[in-house]
């Protein structure tokens, strides 16, 4: 499929599983704009993130590298900003998607949550820069915003602000001969306190007053979540921050759950406004629109609320990693596919569609977007890592391995039969019937990380993270007290 250089909009939500969109089968959440995007494009049912935390996934989408290669293993803690180098860009040493597009003449913009280093000045790869200086969203309102060389407090909702600035960027580009790349990472629906404490204040709050929340599993808390919270209490020597208590309390706070629904609908509304603007400006025929999330989010599944890292050891269950992925525009045919896809495929898919050389990351081909029929397969397996836990997922099995350290319990491997147990309830690891399959999956897992990771950043080989890590004591026990983070 040949095109003039296409415009590209990559929209990314924050903490949203594929389960939480109407087009993926959720009848309780109101997402008409995203449903329409899928009806006019290609929907991937089995797209997965590489990690269940914000910063690592954003870095992977922009570079095509796994966390054990780019060195960001968990969310970058803004509280450490004073320790970061001036103008620090956490992926600055790698060639990235916006680098490659900018070099080819694209006008590049980031409009949304950055969370990859110091936000006060843009990396050189972005010509236009609209963000805020936070990784953790405390509130959707009253945030300090950064717009190129200005910063100010915006009293309204941050998602609305980023939508409005995206529309303004599109209007400015309408008279330009250059193609554009707009990366629009919204900071919602988020799903953590205090941002979603109580009833939402946005325009969609009342829509969910009578919603029974049948799409939110009401399970008892997982013991691994309780263990994780306990370890955090011990780490800080007192009661930890409210956001760490959320995974214990949120599953029973119906106002907060409905707040999460309302934030999702607000993002959907923003996507609808962006698509409508493209049509008004007659830019829709030559603009590729991609919707995804940084990572999945467990809404109580398996007794877990939030990230895979909400549990100890980290959960590798599907809801925290299965992300929405919809690609529409530029003649992409309406279709859907069950093919296994990693978010690592995104940068090279975009570059391929733009007719540009691919990045050297995971060394996979780009996704074919001009499909005449269903995409039966793309990857034989996808790989996930969450600090002490790694997994390989195929169409038939999920195999999970942990890095073991003396004195730390619960680090046993897991294995699930995804054909007969799609909800991943029965751990069949070490059962004689799957011994050969388990051996093969373990070999694939080890060989993959041996190939793609950088020894200096691979935690399992004594490598160090660029900034903070979630469980420093664990890794210092493994590698000695001299082991530390870079900052």
Give the span between the Cα atoms of 460 and 388, in whole angstroms.
Answer: 8
Higher pLDDT: 415 or 471? It is: 415
Closest Cα partner for 416 from 329, 253, 311, 302? 302
* 189 cis-preceded (ω within 30 degrees of 0): yes
Residues 6+ apart with CB under 8 A from 1: 331, 369, 370
> Is 250 part of any domain?
yes
> Is 137 part of any domain?
yes
Q: Is the confidence at residue 214, as pLDDT, over 50?
A: yes
Do 399 and 415 touch, CB atoms closer than 8 A? yes
> Is 396 part of any domain?
no
Please spell the DSSP secondary structure of 412-477, one letter per residue. --EEEETTT-TT-----TT-GGGHHHHHHHHHHHHHHHHHH--TTT-GGGT---SS--S-HHHHHH
pLDDT tens digit sequence for 299-343: 999 998 888 888 999 999 999 999 999 999 998 888 898 889 999
> Is 310 part of any domain?
yes
> Is 231 part of any domain?
yes
Neighbours of 462 (CB within 10 A): 13
Neighbours of 446 (CB within 10 A): 14
Q: What is the CATH number of the domain that holds 184?
A: 3.40.720.10
Taking phi first (over 0 means left), then psi (-120 to 50 degrees means alpha), and beta for anything else, what does residue 259 get? alpha
pLDDT tens digit sequence for 156-192: 999 999 999 999 999 999 999 999 999 999 999 999 9
pLDDT of residue 1: 38
pTM score above 0.75:
yes
pLDDT of residue 361: 66
Query: If you average pLDDT over residues 16-39, what whole number do you get?
Result: 97
Do 179 and 9 touch, CB atoms closer than 8 A? no
> What residue numbers bound the domain in which 16 lies?
7-381
Give the span between the Cα atoms of 25 and 76, in whole angstroms.
Answer: 33
> Is 277 part of any domain?
yes
Residues of the chain with pLDDT > 70, as a percent, come to 94
> Is 67 part of any domain?
yes
- Partnered with residue 8 across adjacent β-strands are 181, 288
Q: Is the confidence at residue 382, as pLDDT, over 70?
A: yes
Residues of the chain with pLDDT > 90, as a percent, come to 78
For the chain, the domain total comes to 1
> Is 434 part of any domain?
no
């Amino acid at each position: 499929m040949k095109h003039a250089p296409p415009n590209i909009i990559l929209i990314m939500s924050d903490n949203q599983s594929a389960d939480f969109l109407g087009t993926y089968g959720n009848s309780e959440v109101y997402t008409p704009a995203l449903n329409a995007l899928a009806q006019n494009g290609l929907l991937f049912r089995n797209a997965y993130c590489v990690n269940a935390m914000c910063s690592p996934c954003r870095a992977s989408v922009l570079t095509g590298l796994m966390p054990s290669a780019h060195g960001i293993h968990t969310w970058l803690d803004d509280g450490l900003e004073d320790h970061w180098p001036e103008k620090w860009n956490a992926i600055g040493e790698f060639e990235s998607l916006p680098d490659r597009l900018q070099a080819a003449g694209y006008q590049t913009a980031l409009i949304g949550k950055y969370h990859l280093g110091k936000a006060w000045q843009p990396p050189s790869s972005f010509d236009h820069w609209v963000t805020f200086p936070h990784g953790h969203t405390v509130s959707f309102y009253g945030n300090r915003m950064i717009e190129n060389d200005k910063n100010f407090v915006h009293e309204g909702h941050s998602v609305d602000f980023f939508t409005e600035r995206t529309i303004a960027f599109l209007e400015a580009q309408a008279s330009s001969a250059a193609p554009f790349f707009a990366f629009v990472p919204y900071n919602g629906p988020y799903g953590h306190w205090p941002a979603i404490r109580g009833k939402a204040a946005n325009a969609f709050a009342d829509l969910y007053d009578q919603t029974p929340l049948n799409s939110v599993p009401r399970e008892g808390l997982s013991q691994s979540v309780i263990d994780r919270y306990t370890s955090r209490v011990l780490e800080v020597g007192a009661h930890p921050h409210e956001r760490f208590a959320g995974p214990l309390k949120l599953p029973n706070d119906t106002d907060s759950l409905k707040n999460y629904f309302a934030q999702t609908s607000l993002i959907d509304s923003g996507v609808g406004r962006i698509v409508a603007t493209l049509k008004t400006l007659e830019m829709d025929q030559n603009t590729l629109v991609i919707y995804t999330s940084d990572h999945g989010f467990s809404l109580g599944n398996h007794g877990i609320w939030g990230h895979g890292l909400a549990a100890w050891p980290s959960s590798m269950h599907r809801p925290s990693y299965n992300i929405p992925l919809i690609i529409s525009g530029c003649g992409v045919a309406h279709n859907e596919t069950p093919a296994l896809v990693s978010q690592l495929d995104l940068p090279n898919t975009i570059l391929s569609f733009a007719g540009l050389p691919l990045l050297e990351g995971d060394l996979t081909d780009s996704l074919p977007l001009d499909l005449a029929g269903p995409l039966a397969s793309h990857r034989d397996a996808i790989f996930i890592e969450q600090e002490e836990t790694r997994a390989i997922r195929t169409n038939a099995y999920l195999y999970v391995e942990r890095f073991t350290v003396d004195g730390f319990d619960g680090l046993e491997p897991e294995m699930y039969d995804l054909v007969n147990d799609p909800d991943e309830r029965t751990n069949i690891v070490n059962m004689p019937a799957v011994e050969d399959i388990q051996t093969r999956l373990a070999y694939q897992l080890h060989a993959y990380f041996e190939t793609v990771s950088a020894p200096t950043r691979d935690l399992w080989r004594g490598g160090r993270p660029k900034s903070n890590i979630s469980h420093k004591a664990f890794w210092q026990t493994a590698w000695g007290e001299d082991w530390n983070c870079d900052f």
